[in-house]
Amino acid sequence: MSESHTRKVLEPFGWVFQMITGLLLFAFVIFHLYITHLTSHDALEYAKVVERLSNPAIKAFYWLFLASASFHAFNGLRAVLLDTDFGARNEKAVNALTMLLFLIAVVYGGLLLLAF
């Protein structure tokens, strides 16, 4: 029961969110590259990074960026694994593992962001 429900939710939402996060990442990556490499030459210095991350707007942006990127990456990995016979045999484990990795990335990254 719960297994079929998970599968039903994950497949269509995985597909839709893969597209949405993909489109968001397009803008996010460019903005990220802009603020880390194009604004000033010392943008990667420790003090500068800490200063940037203490801005709540930037913090929120990075958290959203992290959530999108890690969902896109781990859902992509899920799709790649499920494309194989190995994935088909271990479907439940693949779904659980990739989504767990996504959650770990979001929570760990969130804690890292909160530290500033």
Catalog residues that contact another protein under the rule CB under 8 A.
7-9, 11-16, 19, 22-23, 25-26, 29, 33, 37-38, 41, 44-47, 49-50, 66, 69-70, 73-74, 76-77, 79-80, 82-88, 91, 105, 108-109, 112, 115-116
Could you tell me the smallest distance in angstroms from the CB atom of residue 2 to another protein?
14
* CB-CB contact of 91 with 10 (8 Å): no
d(CA 55, CA 19) in angstroms, rounded, equals 29
Beta carbon nearer to another protein, 31 or 108: 108
| Nearest alpha-carbon partner for 44 in 32, 36, 52 | 36
Could you tell me the smallest distance in angstroms from the CB atom of residue 63 to another protein?
13
| Nearest alpha-carbon partner for 116 in 41, 62, 79, 37 | 62
